[in-house]
């Protein structure tokens, strides 16, 4: 496990507000920091769901 496997809170908030960034961060970080990548993915999914609910 890498030492740099810390989730950046600012990037999580950005992933919720702009889910595309969260999806990109997931694919970029999944090899080096799998726990952080999973958090970015969950935030992006949550942002997508909220966006779809607000659009309806």
- pLDDT at residue number 6: 87
Give the global pTM. Answer: 0.87
Whether residue 36 contacts residue 7, with contact meaning beta carbons closer than 8 Å, is answered with: yes
pLDDT digits (tens, 9 = 90+) for 1-52: 556 678 899 999 999 999 999 999 999 999 999 999 999 999 999 999 999 9
For the chain, the domains span 9-55
- pLDDT at residue number 28: 96
- pLDDT at residue number 5: 75
Count of alpha carbons within 13 Å of 25, Cβ hemisphere only? 28
């Amino acid at each position: 496990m890498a030492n740099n496997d810390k989730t950046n809170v600012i990037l999580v908030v950005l992933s919720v507000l702009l889910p595309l960034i969260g999806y990109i961060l997931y694919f970029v970080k999944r090899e080096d920091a799998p726990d952080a990548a999973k958090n970015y993915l969950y935030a992006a999914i949550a942002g997508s769901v909220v966006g779809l609910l607000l659009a309806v």
